[in-house]
Amino acid sequence: MDPFIRGLPKAELHLHLEGSLEPELIFAIAQRNGVSLPYASVDALRRAYSFTNLQSFLDIYYAGAGVLLHEQDFYDMTWAYLERAHAQGVRHTEVFFDPQTHTERGVAFEAVLDGIRRALSDARERFGLTSELILCFLRHLSAEAADATLTQALPYKDAFVAVGLDSSEVGHPPSKFQAVFRRALDVGLKTVAHAGEEGPPEYIWEALDLLQVSRIDHGVRCLEDPRLVARLVEEQVPLTVCPLSNVKLKVFERIEDHTLGRMLDAGLRATVNSDDPSYFGGYVAENYEAVAEGLGLSRARLVELARNSFHASFLSPAERERRLAELDAYLAQA
């Protein structure tokens, strides 16, 4: 790992906590919870991580998350991620979680939230690593189920900065969730949505116009629509790009085919993130390294990506300036 990349102060803005569960932790939690897994060993589970598309990944991702039952499980998952993030220069992180993946199995919403929040708070104290939490609705489930989840979350509204939209994209356009996103906006939450990962550019338009998102998660398919690119550039809408994820899920054949360089050249506010690092072969620094090597991105480009990550975050203006000053101080001594 290039020490410059590892130490580069950065924000991570597209990270699913359930996608940070390493196979070793899945097995350890399964054992202590008496949950049986359809894999004989850690290695057998890891060998199953060969995906053909988004759905083939999601099937395994939801199976892995099925071991999580107690508050401590959610703490351990979150803490393991935060330790890795801290070691890779992440100064601020805005993480997704999928409450429905757990409440559908009978786990209390509070157990999920409390475990995650306790770990985020410990990382703030121990590492100075700041964070925000984004509650995602599963788009393969109904709009009514998303609405019920928002109702369940509202007593803890101050714990979240935004709501998001993830899971199986194609066939579940943003328009399906317009009403629940309207409710979230009305109580002061921000909105983000996965769009243009496997789904068409129209889904990005819908996320902007119907869900009023502050950021697009992935968004790589925007390049198919020049009018859309012009708008994203004009409004400087951040895109949380996840290069290793895109290659593992066959959005691009090889890292060398990834369009991140073209996106930056077009003036898009792209950022680099890890998505589901335990499944896709790398945390955020490995993603920076992959595009540095695979696309030949210069150091100036990597710094631009790190700068974009703070600009695209939900940090207050004062906190953003503080983080950008840390970045400048790092560059001054690098």
Q: In the bound complex, what is the minimum distance in angstroms from residue 200's beta carbon to Zn ion?
A: 17
Q: Residue 197, interface with ligand ADE (CB under 6 A)?
A: yes
Stretch that binds Zn ion, among 45-53, 86-94, 268-276, 310-318 (CB under 5 A): 268-276
Q: Which of ligand ADE, Zn ion, none sits in contact with 76, Cβ below 5 to 8 A by type?
A: none
Pair type for strands 190-195 and 162-166 = parallel
Q: Residue 54, interface with ligand ADE (CB under 6 A)?
A: yes
Q: How far is CA 94 from each of CA 24, 49, 274, 300, rounded to the nearest angstrom?
A: 24, 25, 12, 24
* Burial zone of 140 (CB within 10 Å; 0-12 exposed, 13-18 middle, 19+ buried): middle
Nearer to Zn ion, 149 or 246 (CB): 246
Instruction: Judge whether 71 and 13 are in contact, CB under 8 Å.
Output: no
Q: How far is CA 81 from each of CA 5, 18, 34, 280, 296, rounded to the nearest angstrom?
A: 18, 10, 23, 14, 28
Which residue's entry shows tokens 């210069």? 298
Q: Residue 167, interface with ligand ADE (CB under 6 A)?
A: yes
Q: In the bound complex, what is the minimum distance in angstroms from residue 157's beta carbon to ligand ADE?
A: 23
Closest CA to 247 of 281, 215, 293: 281
Q: Residue 22, interface with ligand ADE (CB under 6 A)?
A: no
Q: Which of ligand ADE, Zn ion, none sits in contact with 19, Cβ below 5 to 8 A by type?
A: ligand ADE
To the nearest 10°, report the CA torsion of 317, 323, 325, 328: -130
Inter-helix orientation angle 178-186/143-153, to 10°: 20
Q: Residue 19, interface with ligand ADE (CB under 6 A)?
A: yes
Q: Residue 166, interface with ligand ADE (CB under 6 A)?
A: yes
Q: Where are the beta strands (DSSP E) in 150-231?
A: 162-166, 190-195, 215-218
Please confirm, yes or no, whether 234 is among the known catalytic residues. Answer: no
Size, binding site for ligand ADE by CB under 6 A: 11
3-class DSSP state for residue 16? strand
CA distance 148 to 67: 24
Nearer to Zn ion, 275 or 289 (CB): 275
Residue choice 22, 71, 169, 275 for contact with Zn ion (CB under 5 A): 275
Q: Which of Zn ion, ligand ADE, none sits in contact with 54, Cβ below 5 to 8 A by type?
A: ligand ADE
Q: In the bound complex, what is the minimum distance in angstroms from residue 61's beta carbon to ligand ADE?
A: 6
Question: Which residues 240-259 are close enough to bind ligand ADE by CB under 6 A?
Answer: 245
Read off the amino acid at residue 296. G
132: enclosing H helix or E strand: strand 130-138
Q: By beta-carbon distance, which residue lies closest to ligand ADE?
A: 166
Active site residues: 197
Under the rule (CB under 6 A), what is the footprint of ligand ADE?
16, 19, 54, 61, 166-167, 194, 197, 245, 275-276
Under the rule (CB under 5 A), what is the footprint of Zn ion?
275
